[in-house]
Protein backbone atom coordinates (compact mmCIF):
# COMPACT_ATOMS: atom_id res chain seq x y z
CA UNK A 1 0.00 0.00 0.00
CA UNK A 2 2.99 2.27 0.42
CA UNK A 3 3.18 3.03 -3.30
CA UNK A 4 -0.48 4.09 -3.62
CA UNK A 5 -1.14 7.77 -4.27
CA UNK A 6 -4.06 8.93 -2.08
CA UNK A 7 -4.82 11.86 -4.41
CA UNK A 8 -5.28 9.54 -7.38
CA UNK A 9 -7.38 7.15 -5.32
CA UNK A 10 -9.62 10.04 -4.23
CA UNK A 11 -10.01 11.23 -7.83
CA UNK A 12 -11.67 8.01 -8.97
CA UNK A 13 -15.25 8.48 -10.14
CA UNK A 14 -18.06 7.90 -9.41
CA UNK A 15 -16.65 6.88 -6.01
CA UNK A 16 -13.16 6.97 -4.52
CA UNK A 17 -11.03 3.90 -5.04
CA UNK A 18 -11.88 1.34 -2.32
CA UNK A 19 -8.20 1.13 -1.36
CA UNK A 20 -8.19 4.76 -0.13
CA UNK A 21 -9.73 4.37 3.33
CA UNK A 22 -7.62 1.32 4.30
CA UNK A 23 -4.55 3.29 3.17
CA UNK A 24 -5.56 6.28 5.32
CA UNK A 25 -6.35 4.07 8.31
CA UNK A 26 -2.93 2.45 8.05
CA UNK A 27 -1.29 5.89 7.86
CA UNK A 28 -3.69 8.57 9.23
CA UNK A 29 -1.22 11.41 8.55
CA UNK A 30 -1.95 11.02 4.83
CA UNK A 31 -5.51 12.28 5.43
CA UNK A 32 -4.36 15.87 5.94
CA UNK A 33 -1.37 15.74 3.62
CA UNK A 34 -1.12 18.42 0.92
CA UNK A 35 0.75 18.33 -2.36
CA UNK A 36 3.27 20.99 -3.42
CA UNK A 37 0.37 23.33 -4.29
CA UNK A 38 -1.51 22.81 -1.06
CA UNK A 39 -4.10 20.58 -2.73
CA UNK A 40 -5.50 18.15 -0.19
CA UNK A 41 -7.76 15.12 -0.08
CA UNK A 42 -10.43 17.49 1.24
CA UNK A 43 -10.12 19.56 -1.94
CA UNK A 44 -10.21 16.39 -4.05
CA UNK A 45 -13.28 15.03 -2.25
CA UNK A 46 -15.11 18.35 -2.73
CA UNK A 47 -14.10 18.64 -6.38
CA UNK A 48 -15.12 15.06 -7.23
CA UNK A 49 -18.39 15.21 -5.25
CA UNK A 50 -17.34 12.52 -2.76
CA UNK A 51 -19.58 13.45 0.17
CA UNK A 52 -18.85 10.37 2.27
CA UNK A 53 -15.12 10.94 1.89
CA UNK A 54 -15.52 14.59 2.94
CA UNK A 55 -17.37 13.53 6.07
CA UNK A 56 -14.87 10.78 6.86
CA UNK A 57 -11.86 13.08 6.44
CA UNK A 58 -13.29 15.69 8.80
CA UNK A 59 -15.05 13.46 11.32
CA UNK A 60 -12.86 10.36 11.52
CA UNK A 61 -9.44 11.72 10.55
CA UNK A 62 -10.00 15.19 12.06
CA UNK A 63 -8.81 17.02 8.94
CA UNK A 64 -9.34 20.77 9.36
CA UNK A 65 -12.33 21.65 7.17
CA UNK A 66 -10.72 25.08 6.68
CA UNK A 67 -7.51 23.64 5.19
CA UNK A 68 -6.25 26.03 2.48
CA UNK A 69 -4.26 25.45 -0.69
CA UNK A 70 -1.48 27.70 -2.01
CA UNK A 71 -4.08 30.21 -3.24
CA UNK A 72 -5.66 30.47 0.20
CA UNK A 73 -8.68 28.48 -0.92
CA UNK A 74 -10.63 25.97 1.14
CA UNK A 75 -12.45 22.98 -0.32
CA UNK A 76 -15.53 25.18 -0.72
CA UNK A 77 -13.75 27.02 -3.55
CA UNK A 78 -13.52 23.83 -5.65
CA UNK A 79 -17.03 22.53 -4.93
CA UNK A 80 -19.01 21.98 -8.11
CA UNK A 81 -22.33 20.80 -6.72
CA UNK A 82 -24.89 22.21 -4.32
CA UNK A 83 -24.72 18.99 -2.28
CA UNK A 84 -21.01 19.44 -1.60
CA UNK A 85 -21.50 23.10 -0.66
CA UNK A 86 -24.29 22.20 1.73
CA UNK A 87 -22.21 19.43 3.27
CA UNK A 88 -19.22 21.73 3.75
CA UNK A 89 -21.14 24.76 5.04
CA UNK A 90 -24.12 23.32 6.89
CA UNK A 91 -22.79 19.99 8.13
CA UNK A 92 -19.02 20.31 8.44
CA UNK A 93 -18.91 24.02 9.29
CA UNK A 94 -16.49 25.47 6.76
CA UNK A 95 -16.38 29.26 6.98
CA UNK A 96 -18.04 30.55 3.81
CA UNK A 97 -16.64 34.02 4.51
CA UNK A 98 -13.00 33.02 4.03
CA UNK A 99 -11.27 35.02 1.31
CA UNK A 100 -8.61 33.61 -0.97
CA UNK A 101 -5.35 35.36 -1.84
CA UNK A 102 -7.21 37.46 -4.44
CA UNK A 103 -9.57 38.74 -1.74
CA UNK A 104 -12.57 36.75 -3.01
CA UNK A 105 -14.90 34.47 -1.08
CA UNK A 106 -15.90 31.14 -2.64
CA UNK A 107 -19.22 32.71 -3.63
CA UNK A 108 -17.56 35.70 -5.27
CA UNK A 109 -15.15 33.46 -7.15
CA UNK A 110 -17.99 31.19 -8.32
CA UNK A 111 -19.97 34.22 -9.48
CA UNK A 112 -16.94 35.66 -11.26
CA UNK A 113 -16.21 32.39 -13.06
CA UNK A 114 -19.93 31.83 -13.80
CA UNK A 115 -19.38 28.10 -14.23
CA UNK A 116 -21.71 26.86 -11.49
CA UNK A 117 -24.29 29.58 -10.70
CA UNK A 118 -26.31 27.27 -8.44
CA UNK A 119 -23.16 26.63 -6.41
CA UNK A 120 -22.54 30.36 -5.99
CA UNK A 121 -25.90 30.61 -4.26
CA UNK A 122 -24.96 27.89 -1.77
CA UNK A 123 -21.48 29.13 -0.89
CA UNK A 124 -22.72 31.71 1.54
CA UNK A 125 -23.81 31.32 5.14
CA UNK A 126 -27.57 31.89 5.52
CA UNK A 127 -26.97 35.18 7.36
CA UNK A 128 -23.71 36.94 6.67
CA UNK A 129 -22.88 39.36 9.50
CA UNK A 130 -20.73 41.34 7.10
CA UNK A 131 -23.92 42.37 5.30
CA UNK A 132 -24.82 44.56 8.23
CA UNK A 133 -28.34 43.14 8.00
CA UNK A 134 -30.06 42.10 11.17
CA UNK A 135 -33.61 40.88 11.54
CA UNK A 136 -33.54 41.80 15.22
CA UNK A 137 -36.66 43.69 16.23
CA UNK A 138 -38.46 42.98 12.97
CA UNK A 139 -41.72 41.07 12.71
CA UNK A 140 -41.60 37.95 10.53
CA UNK A 141 -43.38 38.19 7.22
CA UNK A 142 -46.87 36.70 7.80
CA UNK A 143 -46.82 34.93 4.43
CA UNK A 144 -43.50 33.22 5.17
CA UNK A 145 -44.71 32.34 8.67
CA UNK A 146 -47.83 30.75 7.17
CA UNK A 147 -45.80 28.81 4.59
CA UNK A 148 -43.33 27.57 7.23
CA UNK A 149 -46.10 26.47 9.57
CA UNK A 150 -47.89 24.72 6.69
CA UNK A 151 -44.69 22.93 5.69
CA UNK A 152 -43.85 21.98 9.29
CA UNK A 153 -47.30 20.48 9.74
CA UNK A 154 -46.93 18.10 6.80
CA UNK A 155 -46.24 14.38 7.29
CA UNK A 156 -43.23 14.54 4.95
CA UNK A 157 -41.56 17.47 6.76
CA UNK A 158 -38.67 15.33 8.08
CA UNK A 159 -38.05 13.66 4.71
CA UNK A 160 -35.40 14.77 2.25
CA UNK A 161 -38.08 16.40 0.06
CA UNK A 162 -39.64 18.25 3.00
CA UNK A 163 -36.24 19.55 4.09
CA UNK A 164 -35.42 20.57 0.52
CA UNK A 165 -38.63 22.59 0.39
CA UNK A 166 -37.80 24.20 3.74
CA UNK A 167 -34.33 25.22 2.47
CA UNK A 168 -35.97 26.63 -0.66
CA UNK A 169 -38.41 28.62 1.48
CA UNK A 170 -35.61 29.96 3.67
CA UNK A 171 -33.57 30.90 0.60
CA UNK A 172 -36.59 32.77 -0.78
CA UNK A 173 -37.00 34.58 2.54
CA UNK A 174 -33.33 35.57 2.68
CA UNK A 175 -33.30 36.77 -0.91
CA UNK A 176 -36.49 38.72 -0.31
CA UNK A 177 -35.07 40.34 2.83
CA UNK A 178 -31.87 41.35 1.09
CA UNK A 179 -33.80 42.66 -1.93
CA UNK A 180 -36.04 44.74 0.35
CA UNK A 181 -33.09 46.58 1.85
CA UNK A 182 -32.15 49.84 0.30
CA UNK A 183 -28.52 49.35 -0.60
CA UNK A 184 -26.51 51.54 -2.87
CA UNK A 185 -24.87 49.25 -5.38
CA UNK A 186 -21.43 49.95 -6.79
CA UNK A 187 -21.61 50.69 -10.49
CA UNK A 188 -18.74 49.57 -12.69
CA UNK A 189 -17.73 52.16 -15.27
Query: pLDDT digit string (tens) for 27-82?
Result: 999 999 999 999 999 999 999 999 999 999 999 999 999 999 999 999 999 998 98
Calpha distance 108→97 (Å, rounded) = 10
What pLDDT does 138 receive?
57
Question: pLDDT over 70 for what percent of the chain?
Answer: 77
Q: Is 144 left (phi over 0), alpha (psi -120 to 50) or beta?
A: alpha
Superfamily of domain 1-125: Ankyrin repeat-containing domain (1.25.40.20)
pLDDT for 178 equals 44
Name the residue among 132, 70, 125 with its Cα closest to residue 100: 70
Q: Are 34 and 58 a contacting pair, CB within 8 Å?
A: no
Domain residue spans of the chain: 1-125, 131-189
> Could you tell me which of 129, 150, 143 has the C-alpha nearest to residue 176?
143
Tens-digit pLDDT profile for residues 107-142: 888 888 877 666 666 655 443 434 444 444 556 677
Residue 160 has pLDDT above 80, yes or no: yes
Amino acid sequence: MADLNPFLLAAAVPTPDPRLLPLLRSNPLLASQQDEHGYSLLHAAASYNHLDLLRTLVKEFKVDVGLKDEDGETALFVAETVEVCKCLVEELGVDAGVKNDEGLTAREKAEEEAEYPEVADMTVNPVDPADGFSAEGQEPDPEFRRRIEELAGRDDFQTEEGQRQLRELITDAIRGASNDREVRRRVEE
